[in-house]
Amino acid sequence: DAKTTQPPSMDCAEGRAANLPCNHSTISGNEYVYWYRQIHSQGPQYIIHGLKNNETNEMASLIITEDRKSSTLILPHATLRDTAVYYCIVRVAYNAGNMLTFGGGTRLMVKP
Amino acid sequence: GAVVSQHPSRVICKSGTSVKIECRSLDFQATTMFWYRQFPKQSLMLMATSNEGSKATYEQGVEKDKFLINHASLTLSTLTVTSAHPEDSSFYICSAAGGGTGELFFGEGSRLTVL
């Protein structure tokens, strides 16, 4: 699986949009971009994933550049409960046998 | 989404004893489950891949005789830390693919403290 690069930490004001970048310049054509987050002392929580089109769900939006070498996770109105470590992972298409390889992630701190 | 449950969520044991952690897929069948370990302020590290009805596949550096994995049914995998020592104290997390999409869902984690 391709390696990803994320900033180690970011701050965001409560109520503002949080934009978390991820570089994955060696991504292959059949690899998806996944985002998970981990709140302190809990298991990771799935947020969103995409292949090449931008995606949106009730939690966040995922913007993938046209060359697919980078992406941005957007939390439109960050709350204090969004404070967590956010992991950007690239992984081949849906396959029950494929694990997720976690990098360092970005520690997002949402401040009042 | 699909639900994966771990038990116990916290366990404290004495050095030299064995501890079993259960991982259950509650509303789907999982032929494959993954066990991760996470030390404080570090990322998740894959320990092993558990396949129903067959032997687990361990990552390099993970002792298979110390971390026994059993995946006897499509809804249950267990991780047994044998002869636990303080350095085995960690957060253990399981993951399973389910929902018919191969998407991975994670358990709540089990925090092991070895005294």
If one counts every other C-beta atom within 10 angstroms of the C-beta of residue A74, the result is 16
In A1-97, DSSP assigns E strands to: 9-13, 18-23, 31-38, 45-50, 55-56, 61-64, 70-75, 84-92
Say if the Cβ atoms of A44 and B44 lie within 8 Å: yes
Q: Is B26 on the interface with A (CB under 8 A)?
A: no
- Cα separation of the two ends of chain A: 37
Q: Is A87 on the interface with B (CB under 8 A)?
A: yes
For the segment B42-71, the average pLDDT, to the nearest whole number, is: 92
Q: Is B13 on the interface with A (CB under 8 A)?
A: no
Look at the block and give the residue holding tokens 């995409």: A50
Residue A57 burial (C-beta neighbours within 10 Å; 0-12, 13-18, 19+): exposed
Q: Is B21 on the interface with A (CB under 8 A)?
A: no
- Cα separation of the two ends of chain B: 37
Q: What's the mean pLDDT when you consider all of chain B?
A: 91
Say if the Cβ atoms of B46 and A101 lie within 8 Å: yes
Instruction: Give the pLDDT of residue B1.
Output: 62
Q: What is the pLDDT along chain A (112 residues), one digit of tens a residue?
A: 668 999 999 999 999 999 999 999 999 888 899 999 999 989 999 899 999 999 999 999 999 999 999 999 999 999 999 999 999 998 876 565 677 888 889 999 999 9
Chain A closest-CA separation from residue B105 CA (Å): 7
**CA-CA distances (angstroms) from residue B64 to A30, A66, B67?**
32, 43, 5
